[in-house]
Amino acid sequence: MEQIPLYPLKFEPIYQYRIWGGRRLSNLLTKPLPPNDPIGEAWILSDRDDHPSKVTNGKLKGQTISQLFEHSADQLMGSLAGKFKRFPLLLKFLDCQQVLSVQVHPSDHQKKYIPKSENGKTESWVVLETGKDGIIYAGLKPGTTEEKIRAALDEHKVADDLAHFKPKLGDSVLIKAGTVHTLGDVVVFEVQENSDVTFRLYDWDRIDKKTGKPRDLQVDEALACIDFTKTDIGPVKPAIETEAPALTELLVDDEHFKMRRFTGALPFMVGSDNNPRVLVCIEGTGELDNKNEFYTFKKGEVILIPAVTGACPFVPKGKVILLEIALPED
């Protein structure tokens, strides 16, 4: 595999059953959903031991992101090679047909609550679809304490202590580790640290139909990981970087990842020399031009641009909206 030069890579989505999921991901992805079950997540780029993403195009078709990271790290990561033990981000689409559990993720520094080989979890969402009951809970109401939350748990009224807002199409939200959060009746794109550590504080007293039992809660761990200063979290205000040839907005500038949104119908540049980039198409179609080799790109797809590929033009076929996710370079 080391002899094969890396190129823009596409991956097959990995569907995940979730008690709160639905069937709306079929509007985003061409791969058929598994029948009958509510599907809450499509992992579109995952370097997880249990669910590694597989390449679907070119000479490396069938290889996993884990294999590429192991054997071609220099080509893939460029100046960041050696900094990470695996690809450090996990990208998903979520169909939150019902509201998720009220939950919190630890920060990277809370080692006591993070299993070996895992890390903390900061994440960010972009709202792609919202229903009449769409809601995002993000952060606590000011003045909320651990004692107040424990009392609210006893009374099944945790939502009363959570800040919330009604999401709109295109809203972006940054959920830093330690922020209490949940969301419902929305479809979102999510980028997060490559972690699967979640502590459920409350699950709305529901029963999992597959098991006939409530899902486990981790109340003590969740309370230990809450950052009580994270209150009243709302949508981020995009920073406009350019208006032509495409509207370029910086949505997230975090220590773990950066996210930009490109909107336009004329060719524009994506990618970066000597650093990887991940593109996600959320509207429209187009082609990525890598030295006159063209990669069709359409709504719901992800392309990993290896560091060795560098910057290249994206040529829309009509109006497109792309998200570009980058790793911090310092």
**231 within domain boundaries:** no
Same-domain check for residues 178 and 55: yes
Same-domain check for residues 24 and 143: yes
Going by pLDDT thresholds of 50, 70 and 90, the confidence category of residue 330 is low
Identify which of 307, 324, 325 has the alpha carbon closest to the alpha carbon of residue 76: 307
**322 within domain boundaries:** yes
Sign of CA dihedral 226, 231, 232, 235: negative
Over range 204-217, report the average pLDDT. Answer: 92
Looking at the DSSP assignment, which residues form a beta bridge with residue 297? 286
Domain limits for position 306: 239-326
Q: What percent of the chain has pLDDT over 90?
A: 95
Q: Which of 203, 225, 247 is the last residue of a domain?
A: 225
**125 within domain boundaries:** yes
**2 within domain boundaries:** no
Going by pLDDT thresholds of 50, 70 and 90, the confidence category of residue 140 is very high
Answer yes or no: are the C-beta atoms of 241 and 251 closer than 8 Å.
no
Give the model confidence (pLDDT) of 253-299 as tens digits: 999 999 999 999 999 999 999 999 999 999 999 999 999 999 999 99
**232 within domain boundaries:** no
Same-domain check for residues 244 and 169: no
Same-domain check for residues 221 and 301: no
Going by pLDDT thresholds of 50, 70 and 90, the confidence category of residue 1 is very low
Same-domain check for residues 89 and 26: yes
Over range 194-201, report the average pLDDT. Answer: 96
pLDDT at 317: 97
pLDDT at 163: 98
Q: How many structural domains comprise the chain?
A: 2
Going by pLDDT thresholds of 50, 70 and 90, the confidence category of residue 3 is low
Same-domain check for residues 108 and 31: yes
* CATH at residue 248: 2.60.120.10
Q: Which of 181, 203, 225 is the last residue of a domain?
A: 225
Which residues, in sequence order, are CB contacts of 69 under 8 Å at separation 6+?
47, 76, 77, 86, 87
**230 within domain boundaries:** no
Over range 111-121, report the average pLDDT. Answer: 93
Same-domain check for residues 194 and 317: no
Q: How far apart are the first and last CA of the chain?
A: 29
Q: Which of 194, 225, 256 is the last residue of a domain?
A: 225
Over range 131-151, report the average pLDDT. Answer: 97
Give Cα 246 to chain centroid, integer Å: 23
**30 within domain boundaries:** yes
Looking at the DSSP assignment, which residues form a beta bridge with residue 64? 54
Q: What is the DSSP string of 123-182?
A: EEEEEEEEEEEEEEEEEEPTT--HHHHHHHHHTT-GGGGEEEE---TT-EEEE-TT--EE
Residue 219 host element (H or E): helix 219-225
Give the model confidence (pLDDT) of 150-192 as tens digits: 999 999 999 999 999 999 999 999 999 999 999 999 999 999 9
Same-domain check for residues 243 and 220: no
Same-domain check for residues 112 and 209: yes
Q: In this structure, which long-range contacts are made by residues 294-297, counting pairs with CB atoms below 8 Å and at least 24 apart in sequence?
A: 295/8, 295/10, 295/57
Over range 121-126, report the average pLDDT. Answer: 98
pLDDT at 210: 86
Give the model confidence (pLDDT) of 295-323 as tens digits: 999 999 999 999 999 999 999 999 999 99
Same-domain check for residues 263 and 198: no
Same-domain check for residues 60 and 37: yes
Give the model confidence (pLDDT) of 87-101 as tens digits: 999 999 999 999 999
Identify which of 47, 13, 10 has the alpha carbon closest to the alpha carbon of residue 33: 13
Same-domain check for residues 120 and 97: yes
**105 within domain boundaries:** yes
Which residues, in sequence order, are CB contacts of 173 under 8 Å at separation 6+?
124, 125, 127, 136, 138, 167, 233, 234, 235, 236
